[in-house]
Amino acid sequence: MSDAPEIRLSLGTGLHLRDADLWLDPRSPRPRAFVSHAHADHVARHQQILCSPVTAHLLQARYRIARDRLSIQEFHECRNWEGFLCTLLPAGHIAGSAMLHIVDENSGASLLYTGDYKLRSSRSVERASWKTADTLIMESTFGLPRYVLPTATAIESQLCDFVKESLAEGQTPVLLGYSLGKAQEIAAILAAHDMPFVNTASVAQMTEACRAAGLALPAATLWHDAIPQGHALIAPPQFLRHKDFSRISRPRTAMLTGWALNPSARFRYGVDAAIPLSDHADFPDLLRTAEIVQPRRIITVHGSTRELAASLRARNFVAWSHFGNDQLELFSDFP
């Protein structure tokens, strides 16, 4: 093992930067936490929350988090946090999503925590930008080699063809994606292709919250009674089980998710089509991230952590899963 300085981490009950006393996306309330973005699995009522301005807006709008708990920091701005230089970088995942880059002022050791992210550009979110770091903590949602997404152009064509074909056959295209993030990307794609759409209430609410936070998104027209002729409906996945779903005449449903790469996705979700529009990095982009950041060590979190760590080790990176057990001789260095 190298003797180079490292930022000390605890991994047991969540990711904790010990010397900065800062938790990274902790699930339970902590004194001080970095919250990478406003998806529900990343949010808890911490005493002090470091986040981007758009995430701060969404935390207040969606979860009623009090303003005085929020330490808001712009992307690319560098601030000193108890002897650590902290920079938030766009993560390209959903509106406001950030990565945290941190440098120990004394030792010069650096760390990059990705949170959820993607490398490729999208229509509704600022593209991710990067800094090199000694330690990389990266998500591994699509950490298996079979998760290779088609090009953005091919995915958009799939979506547009689905809508056109449904309408041509007198059906109502129902496009299913999470209310925050995926729904806005679907809306931006449809708007770019001049395809009209309406939204369910939860989608409209999130889109308006993103617009109020300063994002350039098409206004969200709310669906009231009938779906207007020639329009698609954007709805959250749980809409399929909602009583309002039965009000739609001749629905044709598509789930928009990276999991559409699994051959059984259509059946698993009970939809007519599954289209692989994702807000996460696919397997090739996960590997590419390590090349970009050039870390001396990598810790994988969320998803196929052990498999991704093994693939990274096969490419000569020092990498292991947050959960351990995959390379015990390295993991023992982390008390």
Positions in the binding site for Zn ion (CB under 5 A): 39, 116
> In the bound complex, what is the minimum distance in angstroms from residue 189's beta carbon to Zn ion?
19
Task: Give the Å distances, CA to CA, from 59 to 43, 95, 200, 278.
Answer: 8, 12, 21, 22
Per 3-state DSSP, the chain is made up of helix, strand and coil in percentages (nearest 5) of 30, 25, 45
Give me the helix-helix angle, 201-212 and 182-192, nearest 10°.
80
Q: Which of 61, 330 has the CB closer to Zn ion? A: 61
> In the bound complex, what is the minimum distance in angstroms from residue 15's beta carbon to Zn ion?
15
> Can you read off the two tokens belonging to residue 250?
């001749």
Q: Which of 39, 118 has the CB closer to Zn ion? A: 39
Q: Which of 116, 285 has the CB closer to Zn ion? A: 116
> In the bound complex, what is the minimum distance in angstroms from residue 217's beta carbon to Zn ion?
18
> In the bound complex, what is the minimum distance in angstroms from residue 121's beta carbon to Zn ion?
18
DSSP 273: E
Q: What is the 3-state secondary structure (H, E, C) of 97-135?
A: CEEEEEEECCCCCEEEECCCCCCCCCCCCCCCCCCCCCE
> In the bound complex, what is the minimum distance in angstroms from residue 115's beta carbon to Zn ion?
8
Q: Which of 116, 185 has the CB closer to Zn ion? A: 116
Q: In what order do the strands lie in the sheet with 15-17?
A: 9-10, 15-17, 22-24, 32-34, 48-51, 70-72
Q: Which of 178, 223 has the CB closer to Zn ion? A: 178
Q: Which of 41, 74 has the CB closer to Zn ion? A: 41
> Can you read off the two tokens belonging to residue 109?
């050791």
Q: Which of 125, 133 has the CB closer to Zn ion? A: 125
Residues in a beta bridge with 155: none
> In the bound complex, what is the minimum distance in angstroms from residue 24's beta carbon to Zn ion?
14
Element (H, E) at 292: helix 283-293
> In the bound complex, what is the minimum distance in angstroms from residue 98's beta carbon to Zn ion?
12
Q: Which residues contact 212 (CB under 8 A, 6 or more apart)?
A: 57, 61
